[in-house]
C-alpha cells in the first residue's frame, strides 16, 4: 500500500484543497479530498482486470460546493437527509436548523460538507480527516468534532469510520454521498445496474419527500429490491413515494438491524464490466438515490467525463431521515456528551 499527496485547487475563499491517493498492490486506488472529506475518485478493476474510475466528480473544485450538483462524494453532516420544518426537539429544547431546501433542512444545511477539513493523520493505507463545528452552528447543539477515517486494502475494500465527540448531548447522522457508476463510463445510465437491498420496508414520505412516520412494505411494489434486478426495471412506474421523473430517492429500512452491528445493506452490480460493490453498515437505513435531481443536460466531470441525471447511484447509509422528529418510532441512537459516537460503512469491490 502507498499514499501520495497532491494539491487539487483553491476554493474562491482562498482555501486550498488537497488530494490523498491510496494505491493497493493490485494498482486499485482511492483518491480522497480534504474538501468535504470526500471521495474524489476510485479506480477498481473490471472482470478483465482493467481499472476505471467508478465514482462521479469534478475537475472544477467550485462544482463540489454547489448544492445543486448533489454533494458529489462528500461527507454529509451533522444530520444527513431531511429534517421537517428545520426544527426538532431534543432533551426538552427546540432547535432550529437552516431551511436550505423548501420548508425543510437538507443535509444539515449544507455548510458542513462544503468546507475544507483538516488532515489529522495519514498512513500507507488510511487518511483521517477532522472537522470542528462549534456549539449551535447551523442550529445544532454541542461543540462537535467529527473524524472520518478512510482505509483502503488489498482486497479493494474501502472502509469509512466516522467518530464524533461533543461536549453536549446532541444528534448526528453522518453519511457519504458518493455517486457510483460501476461501468467506469458515466455516459452510461445506472438504470442498467443490478441492485439488491436487504430491506422489506421503506419510510413512507409526503409530497415533499419528508417521512410521515409510517413504514411501507416493499412487497408487490416498484420499491422491492429484495432480489437482485435492474434499477431501470420499474424506476419510472408511478408510485406514491416517488416524484414523477425523479425515480428512486428513498430510505430503505434494513431488516433485522441492530444499530452498531455490521451487516450487508446492498449489492450493486454492473453486468457488462462485471464490477460488483457490496455495502456494509452498522446503521439501520440506506438512501437509494439515482441522481434523478441532477441536471438532464450535463455538467463537466473529471477528465472529460460528465455528471448528469441518472449517471450515478448513491447508496447513503444513515439513520432514517428526520429520525430526530421520530425518536420513539424510528431506530436511532444519539450522541452522549463526552462519549465517542462511532459508525462504520464499507464499500467492497469484487468482480463476477
107 assigned to active site: no
Q: What is the DSSP string of 111-131?
A: GGGGSBPEEEEEETTEEEEEE
What 3-state class would DSSP assign to 69? helix
Measured from the CB atom, is 69 or 341 closer to ligand BGC? Answer: 69
Interface pick for ligand BGC out of 29, 41, 81, 281 (rule CB under 6 A): 81
51, 45 in Cβ contact below 8 A?
yes
Point out which span in 120-128, 142-150, 233-241, 285-293 binds ligand BGC (CB under 6 A): 285-293
Alpha helices for 32-91 (secondary structure H): none
Provide the 3-class DSSP secondary structure of residue 137.
Answer: helix
Residue closer to ligand BGC by CB (options 107, 308) is 107
Q: Which of 107, 177, 193, 346 is catalytic?
A: 177
- Quote the least distance from Cβ 101 to ligand BGC, whole Å: 8
Cell digits of residue 179: 455517486
Q: How far is CA 35 from CA 17, 54, 69, 131, in A?
A: 6, 19, 15, 11
Q: Is 316 a catalytic residue?
A: yes
Q: Is 70 in the site for ligand BGC (CB under 6 A)?
A: yes
User: Least distance (Å) from ligand BGC to the CB of residue 5?
Assistant: 29
CB of 139 to ligand BGC, least distance (A): 19
User: Closest separation between CB of residue 324 and ligand BGC, Å?
Assistant: 16
Residue with smaller CB distance to ligand BGC, 67 or 331: 67
Of 67 and 274, nearer to ligand BGC (C-beta) is: 67
Instruction: Scan residues 101-140 and list those touching ligand BGC (CB under 6 A).
Output: 107
Chain position carrying cell 474510475: 53
Interatomic CA distance for residues 348 and 350, integer angstroms: 7
Of 43 and 71, CB closest to ligand BGC: 71
Element housing 196 (H / E): strand 194-197
Polymer length of the chain: 352
- String marking each residue 311-340 x if it binds ligand BGC according to CB under 6 A: -----x------------------------
CA distance 45 to 274: 9
Query: What is the total count of residues that contact ligand BGC (CB under 6 A)?
Result: 9
- Set 316, 340, 346, 352: catalytic member: 316
Provide DSSP, 193-237.
Answer: SEEEESEEEEEEE-TTS-EEEEEEE-TTSTT--SS-EEGGGTTTS
Q: What Rg do the C-alpha atoms of the chain give, in angstroms?
A: 19
Give strand pairing partners of 288: 250, 315
Contact positions toward ligand BGC, by CB under 6 A?
70-71, 81, 107, 249, 287, 289, 293, 316
For the annotated catalytic residues, the residue numbers are 177, 316
Amino acid at each position: 500500500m502507498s499514499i501520495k499527496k497532491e494539491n487539487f485547487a483553491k476554493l474562491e475563499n482562498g482555501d486550498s484543497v488537497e488530494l490523498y491517493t491510496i494505491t493497493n498492490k493490485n494498482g486499485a486506488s482511492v483518491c480522497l479530498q480534504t474538501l468535504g472529506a470526500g471521495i474524489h475518485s476510485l479506480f477498481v478493476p473490471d472482470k478483465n482486470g482493467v481499472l476505471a474510475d467508478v465514482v462521479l466528480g469534478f475537475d472544477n473544485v467550485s462544482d463540489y460546493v454547489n448544492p445543486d450538483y448533489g454533494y458529489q462524494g462528500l461527507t454529509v453532516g451533522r444530520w444527513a437527509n431531511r429534517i421537517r420544518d428545520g426544527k426538532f426537539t431534543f432533551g426538552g429544547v427546540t432547535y432550529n436548523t437552516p431551511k436550505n431546501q423548501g420548508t425543510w433542512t437538507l443535509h444539515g444545511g449544507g455548510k458542513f460538507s462544503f468546507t475544507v477539513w483538516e488532515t489529522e493523520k495519514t498512513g500507507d493505507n488510511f487518511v483521517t480527516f477532522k472537522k470542528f463545528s462549534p456549539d449551535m452552528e447551523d442550529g445544532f447543539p454541542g461543540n462537535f468534532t467529527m473524524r472520518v477515517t478512510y482505509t483502503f486494502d488489498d482486497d479493494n475494500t474501502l472502509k469509512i469510520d466516522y467518530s464524533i465527540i461533543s461536549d453536549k448531548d446532541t444528534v448526528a447522522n453522518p453519511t457519504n454521498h458518493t455517486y457510483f457508476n460501476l461501468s467506469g463510463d458515466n455516459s452510461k445510465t445506472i438504470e442498467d445496474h443490478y441492485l439488491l437491498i436487504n430491506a422489506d420496508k421503506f419510510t413512507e414520505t409526503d409530497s415533499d419527500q419528508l417521512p410521515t412516520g409510517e413504514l411501507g412494505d416493499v412487497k408487490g411494489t416498484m420499491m422491492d429490491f429484495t432480489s437482485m434486478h435492474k434499477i431501470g426495471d420499474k424506476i419510472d412506474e408511478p408510485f406514491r413515494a416517488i416524484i414523477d421523473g425523479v425515480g428512486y430517492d428513498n430510505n430503505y429500512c434494513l431488516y433485522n438491524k441492530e444499530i452498531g452491528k455490521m451487516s450487508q445493506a446492498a449489492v450493486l452490480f454492473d453486468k457488462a464490466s462485471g464490477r460488483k460493490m457490496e455495502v456494509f453498515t452498522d446503521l439501520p437505513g440506506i438512501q437509494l438515490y439515482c441522481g434523478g435531481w441532477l441536471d438532464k443536460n450535463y455538467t463537466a466531470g473529471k477528465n472529460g467525463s460528465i455528471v448528469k441525471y441518472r449517471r450515478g447511484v448513491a447508496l447513503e447509509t444513515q439513520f432514517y431521515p428526520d429520525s430526530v422528529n421520530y425518536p420513539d418510532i424510528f431506530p436511532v441512537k444519539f450522541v452522549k456528551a463526552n462519549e465517542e459516537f462511532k459508525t462504520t460503512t464499507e464499500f467492497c469491490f469484487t468482480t463476477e
